[in-house]
Each structure stands twice: as C-alpha cells, then as structure tokens.
Structure 1
Amino acid sequence: MAHDPDERHHDDGHHPHDHARWKHDGVRVIKGDRLDPQTAQTPGMFRQAAINLARVGAQKIWAGTVTIQPDAKTGVHHHGALESVIYVVRGKARMRWGERLEYVAEAEAGDFIFVPPYVPHQEINADPGQPLDCVLVRSDNEAVVVNITDIDPVEKPEAVYWVDPIHKAPE
C-alpha cells in the first residue's frame, strides 16, 4: 500500500491547514546584511540582533553578532539566569570571570565559549591589531544584564557601562 505524502493522520499532530501556516510561520532566514542594530550597545562594541521576539517571534532564544574593537572590554557583569554561547568568528577573545575576575581563558576563530548563569565576567578583545567578531546566542529572549560595580577585579575594566532604555548609567 503506497503512502500518500499529502495524507494527514490524526495521530501525527499535523492538520491540513498547517501548510498555509508553515509558509509564513515556519523556518526563517535572516540575511547577514539585515541584522538589527537597535539593541543594547557598549562603547567599543557593536551588537546586532538576528533572532529575537520582535524580529521572528522567538520565545526562548536570542541570537546576534558583536564586533569588539581592538583592546575594548566590557565592565564586569552577568546575565542572570541566562546561559550564553559565544562563537568566535574572527580575532582573539579573552574572558575573565570569578569573584575578582581571577580566572582567564582565551578563544580564537572557530572556538565556542559557554557562560553559565550568574557568573560574573568580562569580555575582552585580546588583539590590539584587529576587531573581534563573534556570534552570540542566549537562552532567553529578554536582555538581562546585571552590571557589577562593587567588585575589585584583578584587571580593571574600562569605565564603560551597558546603557540602553532598560539599563541606566550609574550616577
């Protein structure tokens, strides 16, 4: 007995009207030249969103890119309960983390970095000669950034803060 590919079975979770829905609400391709720069920015860094609630309706994930200028670094921060993945496309990244940023690791093109929830960290472009280009993925669509100002880090961060409509500059 031949299987008709257009035949829908009640036990497979598909319904005849899914065809029209999937055309508009299915897979999305976000072209690299169509990323959204209307996201939180830090001096020396340029972030762009590819996947988020506003752009594609993503409920549980955020993805985008960041370009970090030579020798630029973030202030000390964490991302609450979010998990983050950073993929290094080009350049050399240095990550510091811990109670005083006493731990350090470096990553280069082709490497992945995992940042667990609540880990105080600092992102640094370790190459004074070229920008650091990365792809970022976070486990939620909400932009959670908690700046930590009462830490005495091993390496002092720049006086740079993540400032956007949600995160105000310290006074």
Structure 2
Amino acid sequence: MTTEPHDHDHDSAPGAPRWKHDGVRVITGDKLDPNTAQTPGMFRQAAINHARVGAQKIWAGTVAIQPDAKTGVHHHGALESVIYVVRGRARMRWGERLEFVAEAGPGDFIYVPPYVPHQEINASPDEPLECVLVRSDNEAVVVNLGDIEPVEKPEAVYWVDPIHRHP
C-alpha cells in the first residue's frame, strides 16, 4: 500500500467524520467563556461544553472564588462533579444540615456525588481560591435548597479511603 499524495479528501463523504474540525480541540486559557451561571463572589468560565466544542456528556471549566465567599446550599441533580484545587483552600460542607466538613488545598481533588446537598466555601479570608471543575453532563444543573439551618460545629471528615486511615 502506498501513501503517495493524491487529490481527494478522505473525509468528504457524506456523514464521514471531519477530523480537522471535529477532532481534538484545544481551548486556551485566555479563550474561556464567562457566559455561564454565576454566583456572587465567584467567577465561572466554561472551557468544554456543548456550545463550545459539541460535548455531549461532559462540562469542564474554571471557577475563581473571592476570599470568604460561599455558595448557597445546593445539589446538582444526577450529575457527578469533580473539583481540582489549583490555588487556595477549599472548604466543603455537605449533608442534610451541612453536618460534615472537609478542606482541600492545591493539588487535591474533590468528588461530589449526585444529589448531595453541599456548599462550597473559600476557607481563606484574604486569598482567592482557583479551581478546575468537571461535571458528568454539559448542562450545569443547580438545585438551590434555600435556607438550611446548618449545625454549628460540623463533623470533620478526612478525605481518605477505607484503606487509608486518619492522618
């Protein structure tokens, strides 16, 4: 079989993939889309979603959270979420009355299962928190749960698995 140059396009058949335009995409950091749902004190930008790249089953982007800012209590329906902390200190509270709390720093990942009531908090009073977000669908479902009376002192939960014990 030879691979000599020829004058027809292999992806020009009807219904054939157009790899040049529909293959790998690079979204540079200066081209993120701020046209997303916003929360006071937070700035979200989409990198990967249906509108930008045609993603069908995933959403990814960034969030910058101002010092001491926090979301209201909410969940994301059937979506799974992953948060990667780039800079700063994240505090997550979750549960029916936000009775659990854990913190994460740079290089840490946070997993939020479907339907878990939670609240994201920048744990620093003077430094911004910067994170990368990935969700299991390209529609950012947010179900606000209104005013939930949080327990006063949430139980600390260490982010370890059953094999690795408390530090």
- TM-score scaled to structure 1, two decimals? 0.80
Q: Which residue of 2 aligns with 1:39?
A: 36
The answer to whether the 8 A contact 2:73-2:119 is kept is: yes
SS at 1:133 equivalent: strand
Identical aligned pairs, as a percentage?
82
Cα distance in structure 2, aligned partners of 1:127 and 1:150: 23
Q: Return the offset for 1:46.
A: 0.3
Unpaired segments ≥5 residues, structure 1: 7-15, 156-171
Q: Which residue of 1 aligns with 2:164?
A: none
Query: What CA deviation, in whole Å up to 9, does each residue of 1:61-80 have, x standing for no partner?
Result: 00000000000000000000
Q: Which residue of 2 aligns with 1:69?
A: 66
Determine if the alignment matches structure 1 residue 92 to structure 2 residue 89. Answer: yes
Following TM superposition, the consecutive aligned residue runs of length 4 or more in structure 1 with deviations greater than 2 angstroms are 3-6, 16-20
Q: Which residue of 2 aligns with 1:102?
A: 99
Query: What CA deviation, in whole Å up to 9, does each residue of 1:127-158 have, x standing for no partner?
Result: 11200000000000112000001522226xxx
Determine if the alignment matches structure 1 residue 17 to structure 2 residue 11. Answer: yes
Change (3 A) 1:21 1:129: same
Change (3 A) 1:5 1:73: farther
Unpaired segments ≥5 residues, structure 2: 5-9, 153-167
Q: Which residue of 1 aligns with 2:55?
A: 58
Aligned residues: 145
Cα distance in structure 1, aligned partners of 2:3 and 2:100: 55
